[in-house]
Each structure stands twice: as C-alpha cells, then as structure tokens.
C-alpha cells in the first residue's frame, strides 16, 4: 500500500538546518559568511604585505622603532654600562583605529523567493569586495606617505634613513609610467636604495597598476628581465612577472595613481599617462583619491589628500614599511527574528575596524612620473 502524505509530515527535510535541528536558516547564514570572507581575502592584497596587529581594549597601538647602534673598543678597567653615545635610539609610532567601516544591503524575502540564483551569496561577495578595496586603498596611501617621510628617530647626532622617491623615466611626461624599460630601471634603483638604507631583502614587494604590469610581461625575455616560471605561450595568461631585483610584483587598482586609484584616462601630460578610456568602465574605476574636503568623517589617521598623489605611479616596499591595526577583523552580521518579520527581509552587514600608517620610512619607495622626485605635489608632507 502506497504511503499517503499527511498535512503534518515530520520527515520534512530542511536544508538550512544543522543536523535537522534548530534554526531552519542557520546554514544559509554560514554560507553567506563564507562568501563574504572569500570576497575580501581574494581582493585585499595589502593585508599580508605589511605588519598587521590585532588591537584589544584600546583605541590605538604603539609600534617601537629602534635605530642603529654602534660598536666601540673597550678601554681596560672601564665599566661596561652601555655605549657612550646612548645607542640605539628608540622612537614610537602610534596607529589609531578609524571608525567602523561597513558595507550593507537589505535583502527582501520575496526577491529571494523569485530570484533564479542564490541572491545572498552574490551580495556577500560584493560586500567583501567593497571592504577589501577600502582596506587596500588606505594601506597603499600610507606607504606612499612613508616614502616621503623622514625617520622617526630624531635624537641629536643620530641620522637614520627616511623614505625614497624614484622617478620613472627622465621626461616631464606622465607617459613614462608605462615605459617598461624605465619601470625596470626604477625597480633596480629601488632595490639599490633599500640595500643602501639597510632594509631587509625579505618581504620586498612592488605594486603597479594593471597596464604597467602587462607592459612588463611583454618585456620578459628582453632588457634583462627573466621569469623563472613562465615563458613562451604561458606569458599570454598574464602571469609572466615574478620579480625584478628580488622584488615580487603585484597588480592592483587600489594604489594612488596620478591623484586617482589604479588608473587615469585622458590626454598625456605631466600628471596623466595619456591612456584612452576603453569606455563603460564604471564609476569606481579611476575614482579620485579622497581628500580632506570629502572624506573626513570616520578617519582618525593621516592618509594624505588627492593633490599629494599628483605624480604617484607605483609603490615598492618591504613588510616593515607600514602597519595595520585591526580592532574588528572582517565580520558579517545578519538580522533575524522580529526584525526580519517586521521588514520581511534581512539586513546583511559586513564590517571591520582598522587603521593604517607608515612605520619605517626607509622601507617605503614611491615611483613618480612626469615630475622630479620631491617636486610640487610629491614633496614630503
């Protein structure tokens, strides 16, 4: 005899439950959380390239900077109570947490029912992208500022190295930023400068915009640029550059680039590389660097203003060049219960609380084009 269904079927499978018990949506929320983290981690490259610390029970974190010390000959019979010049000198750098950074969306329950795709997972990735974008932009602006700063050690008779700016090319044209031979020379100059300032070779990286990166890929096999892993047809995959002078190269649309992020379109000039827009790029591409006029609320660290990146076109740094403090790491929150009933949907929120600043200026190098290093728009600030 066939089994007849009843109105009270206790064998109903609820795919959102954990082990068939509890909240019928519990696993859906966990799926969303994972998607948000995936979106963040795949797009935030700066987080693993600098010094990162977790902040607990405070608003700021202190980083100690120790200068160089000296060696001296011992005088027979003289007590050894530390170097006579008081070396090494010590200074501090304090990084404050900015206000809570959020990205959110309201998901209407009926839209979820009618949608033919998994709505929350798609939204979650975009929330992760937004947080990662802001995270990287603040870190990269901090590194650019560090490249223009003096050492925090100011003790008399002690001179510690500060940041470095290197000009790409020799002309007063921003187009030099895309000349592969000039970029390669700038990388070797940067490596030499870091060596001369006593910066460790471990953890050195460079970050360029995509067009610069692809210009370098096309130069692999020439100009002394050799890639150990990719050659021939493999270069067409866009993964042709591993490192130059021991500096591993990344590409990002979040570096300050001629007062914008990642790219700048228009006629060639001292502050524009002269690239024609491919069209339909979206409002977030080439977005102007926020300045004091429109991005003050929530910012508790100094990240520089738009005009201060007028000729910036790339970054090279070592891990100690900048630091990030996180009071709240990337998290996801979703409304439920009565709130969901009243609004017939859920607010999905991604959040984090972080702050960034340069630490050791000697480990920061900024590439500039169209103007000499240290000229107007690129001077220390």
- Contact status, residue 326 vs residue 54, Cβ threshold 8 Å: yes
Query: What pLDDT, on the 0 to 100 scale, is given for residue 376?
Result: 44
Q: Mean per-residue pLDDT for 232-241?
A: 50
**68 SS3 class:** coil
Closest-CA residue to 137 (of 266, 315, 274, 282):
315
Q: pLDDT at residue 26 above 90?
A: no
pLDDT band, very low/low/confident/very high, at 158 (cuts 50, 70, 90): confident
Beta-sheet pairing, 247-251 with 243-244: antiparallel
Query: What pLDDT, on the 0 to 100 scale, is given for residue 294?
Result: 58
Query: What pLDDT, on the 0 to 100 scale, is given for residue 240?
Result: 47
Query: What pLDDT, on the 0 to 100 scale, is given for residue 326?
Result: 94
- Contact status, residue 13 vs residue 20, Cβ threshold 8 Å: yes
Q: Tokens 């996801």 label which residue? A: 332
- Contact status, residue 292 vs residue 321, Cβ threshold 8 Å: no
Residue ranges of domains in the chain, CATH in brackets? 26-66+88-368 (3.90.1690)
Task: Look up the pTM and report it.
Answer: 0.83
Give the least confident one: 50-59, 237-246, 294-303: 237-246
Which residues 6+ apart lie within 8 Å of 179 measured at CB?
168, 169, 215
Biggest alpha carbon–alpha carbon distance for the chain: 107
pLDDT band, very low/low/confident/very high, at 223 (cuts 50, 70, 90): low
pLDDT tens, position by position, 267-323: 999 999 999 999 998 888 888 898 765 556 788 999 999 999 999 999 999 999 999
pLDDT tens, position by position, 316-375: 999 999 999 999 988 888 888 888 888 888 888 899 999 999 999 999 999 999 998 876
Q: Mean per-residue pLDDT for 36-48?
A: 80
Closest-CA residue to 95 (of 378, 366, 314, 353):
353
b/e code 311-323 from CB counts within 10 Å (16+ = b):
bbbbbbbbbbbbb
Cα separation, 291 vs 1, whole angstroms: 76
pLDDT tens, position by position, 165-185: 999 999 899 999 999 999 999
Q: Where are the alpha helices (DSSP H) in the chain?
A: 26-43, 109-114, 119-146, 180-196, 210-218, 338-343
């Amino acid at each position: 005899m066939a089994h007849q269904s009843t109105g009270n079927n206790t064998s109903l499978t609820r795919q959102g439950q954990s082990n068939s018990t509890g909240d019928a949506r519990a696993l859906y929320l966990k799926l969303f959380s994972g998607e948000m983290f995936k979106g963040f981690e795949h797009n935030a490259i700066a987080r693993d390239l600098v010094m990162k610390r977790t902040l607990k029970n405070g608003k700021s974190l202190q980083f100690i900077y120790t200068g160089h010390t000296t060696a001296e000959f011992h005088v027979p019979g003289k007590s050894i109570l530390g170097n006579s010049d008081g070396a090494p000198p010590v200074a501090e750098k304090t990084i404050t947490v900015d206000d809570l950074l959020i990205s959110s969306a309201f998901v209407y329950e009926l839209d979820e029912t009618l949608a033919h795709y998994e709505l929350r997972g798609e939204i979650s990735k975009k929330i992760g992208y937004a947080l990662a974008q802001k995270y990287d932009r603040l870190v990269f602006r901090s590194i650019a500022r560090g490249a223009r700063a003096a050492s925090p050690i100011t003790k008399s008779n002690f001179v510690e190295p500060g940041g470095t700016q290197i000009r790409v090319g020799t002309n007063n044209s921003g187009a030099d930023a895309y000349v592969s031979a000039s970029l390669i020379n700038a990388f070797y100059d940067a490596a030499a400068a870091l060596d001369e300032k006593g910066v460790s070779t471990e953890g050195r990286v460079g970050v360029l915009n995509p067009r610069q990166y692809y210009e370098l890929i096309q130069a692999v096999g020439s100009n002394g640029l050799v890639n150990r892993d990719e050659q021939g047809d493999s270069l067409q995959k866009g993964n042709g550059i591993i490192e130059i002078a021991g500096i591993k190269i990344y590409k990002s649309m979040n570096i300050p680039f001629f007062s914008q992020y990642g790219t700048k379109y228009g006629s060639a000039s001292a502050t524009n590389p002269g690239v024609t827009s491919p069209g339909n790029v979206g409002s977030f591409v080439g977005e102007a660097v926020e300045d004091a006029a429109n991005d003050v609320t929530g910012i508790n660290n100094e990240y520089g203003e738009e005009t201060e990146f007028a000729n910036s076109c790339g970054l090279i740094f070592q891990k100690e060049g900048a630091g990030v403090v996180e009071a709240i790491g990337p998290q996801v929150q979703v409304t439920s219960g009565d709130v969901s009933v009243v609004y017939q949907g859920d607010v999905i929120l991604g959040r984090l609380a972080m702050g960034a600043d340069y630490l050791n200026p000697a480990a920061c190098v900024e590439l500039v084009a169209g103007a000499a290093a240290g000229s107007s728009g690129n001077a220390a600030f």
